[in-house]
Structure 1
Amino acid sequence: MTAQQQTRPHAAAKPVRWAADVVATMREGARVRLDYSAQSLWRVDRMIEEIRREGAPAEAVRDVLRGFGAYAGEVIVRQTGAEWWATGGDHWIRTPDGRLWDPVEEARRCFGGHGSLRLLCQDAIAGTIAGTEPRHRGHGH
């Protein structure tokens, strides 16, 4: 067994649990069904926006943001075959094209009004489908 195979389950264990916890909490508390689809991230972005508008202090919602980020990461893992990695307590994913993504940090950015888990997932999936070739989406360049 390689070192990679040994660290993979350990790296994935926490974010997989955080994602499952947020799915259960949303289903039971908010009656929102999260199905690990890319489309479900629209709903997650809206929920983070609602929490922000309610004026919740960042410290009070830290765990829920971590759960939403882990959920988005799991969506990317399931859509692309990406893998969770962990370094010094931080969890991030690596897509098959070699790019690194930090969905937990992106959830925090969303809460600050500067991010989108839906767009992060869209970029990760698009890059994986396209391979290493850059995709030109006509942003006026």
Structure 2
Amino acid sequence: MRVGVAEFVRRVTVRNRLPLDYSVASLRVVDRITDGLRGAGPEQGSVAPELFWLGAYAGEVFVRRAGAEWVDFDRAQRELFGQPVGVRMPDGRVWNPIGKVAKRFAVGPEESVRQMYFLLHGRVPLKGAR
């Protein structure tokens, strides 16, 4: 996932001056980009790749800033979350940031990857976390 996320960040920041710097603060940017896509009125299917990579970016922030690790979901988790991958926190709980971005697109601002970060149980404070 790391390589894919890095390529996504490179691609979207080449055209725009988006502060996607893997900081916790940048999760607000993910929420705002998702809102912009939602406000443009496209069907979710037409922006599904962007939503996936925005969620993967959020997951990478969880990895870098909260001590999470990427995991492939098992069959039951894939059915539950509707995604192939997620993150596992040091306490063993799994989270679905990709699905959270898709949910924000579908539902609106009451869903937030930034808020999700602050709800993560078992966050490990890492040096340099912003």
Matched, 1:65 2:51: yes
Question: Following superposition, which runs of at least 4 residues in structure 1 exceed 6 angstroms of deviation?
Answer: none
Does residue 84 of structure 1 match 2:93? no
In the superposition, the TM-score normalised over structure 1's length comes to: 0.74
Match of 1:31 in 2: 17
* Larger-gyration structure (1/2): 1
> What is the aligned partner in structure 1 of residue 104 from structure 2?
110
Aligned residues: 114
Displacement of 1:44: 1.0
CA distance in 2, matches of 1:42, 1:60: 23
The answer on whether the counterparts of 1:97 and 1:128 sit within 8 Å (CA) in structure 2 is yes
Question: What residue is the counterpart of 1:122 in the other structure?
Answer: 118
Q: In the alignment, is residue 49 of structure 1 matched against residue 43 of structure 2?
A: no
Structure 1 match to 2:80? none
1:99 CA displacement: 1.2
The whole-number CA distance in structure 2 between the counterparts of 1:123 and 1:33 is 23
Taking the aligned partners of 1:129 and 1:51, their CA distance within structure 2 comes to 30
User: Structure 2: 5+ residue runs without aligned partners?
Assistant: 76-82, 125-130
Give the gaps of 5 or more residues in structure 1. Answer: 1-14, 131-141
Question: For the residues of structure 1 that align with 2:4 and 2:55, how far apart are their CA atoms?
Answer: 9
Matched residues in 2 for 1:94 and 1:16: separation? 15
* Counterpart residue number, 1:136: none
Q: Distance in 2 between matches of 1:22 and 1:119?
A: 22
- Asked if the contact 2:19/2:29 (under 8 Å) is kept, the reply is no
RMSD: 1.7
- TM-score normalised over the length of structure 2: 0.80
1:98 to 92, 103, 112: 92
Which of structures 1 and 2 has the larger relative contact order (alpha carbons within 8 angstroms, sep 6+)?
2
Code of the residue aligned with 2:52 in structure 1: it is R
